Amino acid sequence: MRYWLFKSEPSTWSWDDQVAKGDTGEEWDGVRNYQARNFMREMSVGDRGFFYHSQKAREIVGTVEVIAEAHPDSTTDDERWDCVDIRALEAAKTPLSLDEIKGDPVLSEMVLVKNSRLSVQPVTEAEWSHICKRTGLSA
């Protein structure tokens, strides 16, 4: 299993929107960055990810699971763009802000710290475990 981070502006697609989709989940569509798309192409069913609210809140608010591997993004006819489907798993008991992540020496090399604009990014197993402990999420 691999670990990821999915960023979304809450005004566009929020944690509550994701939770409302239940076990059927939703496409992680609209990604138009080649590196983020390539990360989605690497994902397998069962991989886990953090759900991150960007813009004002800038915090990890929950975990998701990949439930469908990369397939054509239904929001475009351009065959270059793929997406995966994800479903919500668990809300963070204590959301973890970007400032807290940046201030944590264990997380100083995290992609989120180095390239905060990337909408889909990998998370190491050590980062995953550490963040789960800090947020009260199941590892």
pLDDT digits (tens, 9 = 90+) for 73-126: 999 999 999 999 999 999 999 999 999 999 999 999 999 999 878 999 999 999
Tell me the C-alpha to C-alpha distance, in Å, between residue 6 and each of 16, 74, 77: 14, 18, 23
pLDDT value, residue 94 = 97
66 Cα distance to chain centroid: 10
For residue 134, pLDDT beyond 90: yes
pLDDT value, residue 115 = 87
For residue 56, pLDDT beyond 90: no
Cα separation, 13 vs 8, whole angstroms: 6
- Whole-prediction pTM value? 0.96
Q: Is 39 within 8 Å of 85 (Cβ atoms)?
A: no
End-to-end CA distance of the chain: 12
For the chain, percent of residues with pLDDT exceeding 90: 95
Q: Which residues are CB-contacts of 123 (< 8 A; sequence separation ≥ 6)?
A: 3, 4, 5, 49, 50, 110, 111, 131
- Mean pLDDT across the chain, nearest whole number? 97
Cα separation, 8 vs 55, whole angstroms: 8
**What radius of gyration do the chain's Cα atoms show?**
14
